[in-house]
Chain A
Amino acid sequence: MRITTPHQDFTRGIWRENPVLIQMLGLCPALAVTNTVANSIAMGLATFFVLIGSSLLVSLSKRFIPNEVRISTFILIIATFVTIADMSLEAVVPDIHKALGAFIALIVVNCMILGRQEAFASKRPVGRSLLDALGTGVGFIIAMLMMGTVREVLGNGTILGFSVFGSNYEPWVIFILPPGGFFTIGFILLGLNYVQSRRKPKQLVAELTGDGKAGRAA
């Protein structure tokens, strides 16, 4: 197992191993409820809450959970936090709860959350698990925001309901419809991969010739 520092536990989920953009997990909500920025934020925060709560509890109780029933216990813990988030959202922000619809309940089956429990929280100390959950949660919110901003601006001409282009803008309705979700994630991934593929050779050259680290190691 790779040794990681606490700092790495936190930061890697935010960008380098972003759950949506790099690991390709949790794509269902990222496509389904990112048609406005407000929905993206609410979904991101709900998922964030569930992830933190589950990671904390799984990490605390890992000693008591026999290996044979670990997945069912994780799911039970996740489902409990999802139900709590569902009821709280309905009580506090009913309009957003109505807009998110069934997707709150579907956080239970978000692979990203179960993945963090199985791969991290069930094997690491509580503090590290919390850092990991925080980083992954922030990464998820960032990905949701990227999707939501692009889709609301293009599809509705607004950000958080405020007009961006003025009244003469003819919205591309397709971007707030399901196909727009696929277009948006497609173009974001295309851009990311393009940047990465350009950077890799440069980094390699820099390491081989530049500061000589690679040379010393060899």
Chain B
Amino acid sequence: MSGEDRTIGVESAVPAGQKEVPPWRLVSTLGTAGALAGFLIVFVFVATEPSIKAHKALVLRQAIQEVLKGPASFDTLFVYDGALTEELPAGQDPESTDQIYVGFGDDGSQVGFAMVAAEPGFQDIIQLIFGYEAASQRVIGMKVLESLETPGLGDKIEKDQSFVSEFDGVTSPLLGVKTGRATGDEHEIDMITGATISSRAVIKIINNAIERYRPLIAAHNGGGAQ
């Protein structure tokens, strides 16, 4: 501060007649504060990152178990160069590559694929994971991973068990019908009254993802697993 002796903390922060502060002091104050802040944040980031990542991985593992109805084991497949592969070429970052998961039963037979997909819902992107049985083209389970749908209405897509269980064993492509209009068709999903847009979004996300991955899965099963 300027050499003069002034009482700190009694009057307003701008005492009249205070000497003008040279620009380098302003820059150095902000620079020092910024550097200290950066150092602190990096420190906390390093300290918290492992448990954040571990939790995300745990949530994903549980979701895969849930939508594949408890497979004995599952493998991660990477979507690389227009095909599904278990091993990535060196230099390709596994975390930034799209992944789907293939589950196996006790006898080693394939029970299905779990895919994560995301598209806009009513308020924000809905991210969900669903299980898909390639041979019968059936969806075998669905779980919403992230959504900001309206509490009490749109969030029924994850909280209303009767809606969630509609996805256990429905044949793709899915077709949403209003409550009471169901005809018993195997493609039908009863949509939620009051959450039509959210229900429709879930159905659309699943249909689009199946369309996107079906050729890849067919190639994978036809070429490797036979």
Interface residues of A (CB under 8 A from B): 1, 35, 62-70, 72-73, 76-77, 79-80, 83-84, 87-88, 90-92, 94, 98, 101, 118, 122-125, 155, 171, 173, 176-177
Contact call A177/B9, Cβ cutoff below 8 A: no
Inside 8 A of A73's CB, which chain B residues have their CB? Answer: 29-30, 33
Contact call B13/A123, Cβ cutoff below 8 A: yes
Contact call A177/B150, Cβ cutoff below 8 A: yes
For residue B218, CB closer than 8 A to chain A, the reply is no
Say whether, besides A63-B1, A70-B13, A83 and B41 are in contact (CB < 8 Å): yes
Inside 8 A of A68's CB, which chain B residues have their CB? Answer: 21, 26
Contact call A65/B29, Cβ cutoff below 8 A: yes
Q: How many residues of B contact A (CB 8 A)?
A: 34
Contact call B26/A69, Cβ cutoff below 8 A: yes
Closest to A85 in B: B44
Contact call B150/A87, Cβ cutoff below 8 A: no
Contact call A125/B44, Cβ cutoff below 8 A: no
C-alpha gap A65/B1 in the complex (Å): 9
Closest to A172 in B: B152
User: Shortest distance in angstroms between A204's beta carbon and chain B's nearest beta carbon?
Assistant: 32
Inside 8 A of B47's CB, which chain A residues have their CB? Answer: 91
Inside 8 A of B72's CB, which chain A residues have their CB? Answer: none
Inside 8 A of B21's CB, which chain A residues have their CB? Answer: 66-68
23 A-B residue pairs with CB within 8 Å: A35-B151, A62-B8, A66-B25, A68-B21, A68-B26, A73-B30, A73-B33, A76-B30, A76-B34, A77-B37, A79-B37, A83-B44, A87-B52, A88-B48, A90-B48, A91-B55, A118-B13, A122-B13, A123-B10, A173-B151, A173-B152, A173-B153, A177-B150
For residue B40, CB closer than 8 A to chain A, the reply is yes
Contact call B10/A1, Cβ cutoff below 8 A: yes
User: Shortest distance in angstroms between A174's beta carbon and chain B's nearest beta carbon?
Assistant: 9
For residue B11, CB closer than 8 A to chain A, the reply is yes
Q: Which of B4-31 contact A (CB under 8 A)?
A: 8-14, 18, 21, 25-26, 29-30
For residue B51, CB closer than 8 A to chain A, the reply is yes
